[in-house]
A and B are shown apart, each in its own frame.
Chain A
Amino acid sequence: MVGGPGGRGAGAVGGPGVGVASAAARRHRLATPRGARVRADERDGRPLVVDGREVDAVRESWLVEDRWWSERPLRRRYWEVVTTCGRNVVVFHDLREGGWFRQR
């Protein structure tokens, strides 16, 4: 399971499921999702490798479901992991559109 950086969600405003806006608005947004190369465990979806670095530990995982009442619902599985180089990374899997993203 690999979500490319040029994926649909990463290119749009704020990434997947948020919609389209002008270049200026996109520039002024903070914490927008960026595409990530993730290899995940097929059984439970747990990330094993993030951007070429192996995951040492999973610190937390949570599900975000929002705007289910609208035409652009949002469904993400977040993972906060620690890679073998000691970096703390938050990635999520877009459960509707597919693809993996990093987010601060």
Chain B
Amino acid sequence: MVVCVLIPRFQLTVAVGDREELLGAPAALAPEPGREARVGEVSLAAEAFGVRAGMPLGEALARCPSLTLVPPDPAGVADAWERLLVRLESIGAAVEPERPGLACFEAQGLVRLHGGTLERVLAATRRVLRHPARLGAGPSRFCALAAATRARARRPQVVLGDERAARDYLASLPVALLRGRDETAALPEPLARLGIETLGAPAALPRADVADRFGSPGLLAWELAQGRDGRLRAREEPERLEEELELPEALSGAQLDRALGLLVDRLLARRERRGRTLRAVVLAATLVEGGTWREQVPFREALSDPLRMRLALAQRLALLPAPAERLRLAVVRFGPAATDQRSLLDEAAVARRARLREGVRQARAAAGPDAALRVLAVDPDSRVPERRAVLTPFE
């Protein structure tokens, strides 16, 4: 049994902070600086005007001229979400976070820990969250998500049974639920154009027909509608290592680079690093104008060299939309212990050659044996051009 925790408008709620009255008025998260001009999560009042998350900013303002744009707070959202995940993990749940505001965990191992029933697990979940959330439970992750969207704030919805029960439950629900998954987010619109309104309709279609018309997203949607879903992948135990620097005055340019260098040095000097390299970090800033800025930076290879790290991070820091008053650097993932040793075998090249061979095979299957040829230099120094090179079969 999978439990789904859904906190609607989580990012908007965090960004609004103390100004809770904004949630009662038409409001939407403003686009992040440097990103596509689309609004983020929207309030209920804004939804009443037809404004939807992901809508182009111009269209949103045209639909609702009184729309309040709330500066996004990606760093605050990440912090708040991390706190909630830690609380969920404190009841023993192995949590898979899907996105801020949506997480799932397997309840089976927790039932005996919390008194023997699923209801008690759900009660324990609600108790530790200390945040209004919708809880749903079902045989599959998608079914649990569907149940959570229909649950009331204080009354979880549970779908008991197996795969068949999940399929029956989902059959009458709208296909718009597929927007909850990145892979199938684009499907509800074409399905609606074909007159398919509920999840029962695609589930009743032959699998091959769905595959032919909608490709792999369609196949996934078909599986989900059948009550099947992939296994949960719980996140690894997080290891928090971060450094923060309060800037005496709003800095930008070269001074900000020096502050970044200081942060990198401090982070690398932390004893908890235990000589390991850093694979990915998060650079976050609190902006003078309000709001925050957050950028995850995965390094091309695991690093422990402060100079190379600063080179990589300074490029991202240049994207800062406004002067910062606080800068933070946190480790997302560690690499192996610092070393320059390379692998003996160039496995990437082997994989590349295998992919190339497969590509050649496919091209020949489609267009005949001459589909893939290579240029062979026969007599490159010949004075007669047609004798210099010929085309030969690729392999």
Contacts and interface: CB of A to CB of B under 8 A. Distances in A.
A29 B391 CA distance: 6
A95 interface: no
Interface of A: 14-15, 18, 27-33, 64, 66, 74, 103-104
Nearest to B389: A30
Interface in B380-395: 383-392
Contacts of A64: 383-384
A30 B391 contact: yes
Contacts of B390: 28-30
Q: Which 9 residue pairs across A and B have the least CB separation, nearest first?
A: A14-B386, A28-B391, A31-B385, A30-B389, A31-B386, A32-B386, A64-B383, A28-B390, A103-B385
A16 to B, nearest CB: 10
A54 to B, nearest CB: 25
Interface in B217-233: none
Q: Give the secondary structure class of A's interface.
A: loop
Given A18-B386, A28-B390, A103-B386, 9 more contacts: A14-B384, A27-B391, A29-B390, A30-B386, A30-B391, A31-B386, A31-B389, A74-B384, A104-B385
Contacts of B387: 14, 18
13 contacts: A14-B384, A14-B387, A28-B390, A29-B386, A29-B390, A29-B391, A31-B385, A31-B386, A31-B388, A31-B389, A33-B386, A64-B383, A64-B384
A28 B385 contact: no
B373 interface: yes
Contacts of B385: 31, 103-104
Nearest to A90: B385
Contacts of B384: 14, 64, 66, 74
Residue of B373, B375, B391, B392 with most chain A CB atoms under a 10 A cut-off: B391
Interface in B346-395: 370, 373, 375, 383-392
A93 B107 CA distance: 85
A66 B386 CA distance: 13
Given A64-B384, A103-B386, A30 B375 contact: yes
Nearest to A65: B383
Contact of A27 (B370, B375, B386, B389): B370
